[in-house]
Amino acid sequence: MLDVKQISTHKDAFIKALKKRNFNAEDLFEKLLKLDEERRQTQKQLDDTLAESNQLSKEIGALFKQGKADEANAIKEKTGALKENSKQLNHKMESLLTELQDLLYTIPNVPHELVPAGQTEDDNQEIYSKGDIPKLSHKSLPHWELAKKYDLIDFELGNKITGAGFPVFKGKGAKLQRALITYFLDKNTDAGYQEVQVPLLVNEASGYGTGQLPDKEGQMYHVTGDNLYLIPTAEVPITNIFRGNMLNESELPIQLTGYTACFRREAGSYGAHVRGLNRLHQFDKVELVNLTTPEQSYQMLDDMVEHVKDILDELKLPYRILRLCGGDLGFTSALTYDFEVFSTAQDRWLEISSVSNFETFQANRLKIRYKSANQKKQLVHTLNGSSLALPRVIAGILENYQTDEGIKIPEVLVPYTGFEWIK
């Protein structure tokens, strides 16, 4: 989240940068700065009123000691009016602060200079690609038909139990999913990440802290009776572990990984592009979360990109990396790289990971700071990335590894699955 001081100092630069997102901030910034000026004037009036009231209280005490009760009582009437005035000013301050906070929550993160201008995903920049797209036979099938043929995933049963977008994994399909989860976690912990298990429900403060609220309120499942939210990604509870913390620079970077189920209400359209595992209400994902200093964060982002590349190289899936344009950039992100796996049977690219640097945007909301060696207090930079989202990885494996004899398991996963083929 931006703050008023940042906006006041960098107003023109922020307005220009936010235009990459097709976000016109000029009028909003003017309103914010006027509100902040009113807040500062109100704060001064309140401070002056309280100071005068305190001074008069001292005078009243002195007059009573001198036996001048009538003069003291006369002044007490004035202090009563000052107290009422200060009460009204306090209410005004609370109202102004709430209005300011609500407006600040509506402003997305300022894009990094590397973010290309653009309106839609068609304007994203491909910066890397690797892997040969397999040549499948005319008998090749999309993953939802393969899942049915080999009894791996039952979409109809999930629909019966819950509804569309909640598949049931069975037999070797369930084992493949479990194998991928363990493999991803092993890769992450071997790279120095600490594994954590976190709640699947978060409170409202956690949702606001990482920026899902109010931006994605309609996309989150809300447990109204307890005012809790099902998590859309492990990023939310993992990052909130440090909400309100003052860290020491020696503790940074902090690198955490966790596996969770994820819940999103976004699957509502129809057609081949959302069939099968392409888009779900519930899915499994392994996440990376990093907290680091501003000086280290973009090197950390590059390291995360290389880490995800290494996983996809071992899975031997054809993939590409995109630098997201301003119009496709997530609300909280300053810079995002998307990884996409090519689905040969569907003849299309499927997003399977996003790796992002949020800079201080989340840390400002969460009040996560650190003390540098000279005891200066600063906001950390937060980063996160999928490592990886399971459904589309499984879709890619089923489709790209299918043969006339069955589906061959990627070599790196065989020690985890215990089988080499799905037949």
Longest distance between any two alpha carbons in the chain, whole Å: 107
Establish whether 306 is an annotated binding residue. no
Establish whether 356 is an annotated binding residue. no
Establish whether 352 is an annotated binding residue. yes
Establish whether 266 is an annotated binding residue. yes
Establish whether 386 is an annotated binding residue. no
Establish whether 265 is an annotated binding residue. yes
Transcribe 322-367 into DSSP letters.
Answer: EEPPGGGS-TT-SEEEEEEEEETTTTEEEEEEEEEEEETHHHHHHT
CA distances from 355 to 65, 322, 367, 373 (A): 70, 10, 22, 29
Backbone φ/ψ region at 76: left (φ over 0), alpha (ψ -120 to 50), beta: alpha
* CA-atom Rg of the chain in angstroms: 28
What residues have CB less than 8 Å from 64, skipping those under 6 apart? 72
Spatial CA neighbour of 368 closest among 238, 233, 234, 189: 238
Establish whether 264 is an annotated binding residue. yes
Residues paired with residue 126 on neighbouring β-strands, in sequence order: 322
Neighbour order of strands in the sheet with 335-343: 125-130, 319-323, 335-343, 348-359, 381-389, 282-292, 254-263, 194-195
Establish whether 384 is an annotated binding residue. yes
Establish whether 195 is an annotated binding residue. no
In our burial notation (b when 16+ CB lie closer than 10 A, e otherwise), range 170-189 reads: eebbebbbebbbbbbbebbe
Establish whether 250 is an annotated binding residue. no
List, as residue ranges, the binding site.
233, 264-266, 287, 351-354, 384
List, as residue ranges, the binding site for L-serine.
233, 264, 287, 384
List, as residue ranges, the binding site for ATP.
264-266, 351-354
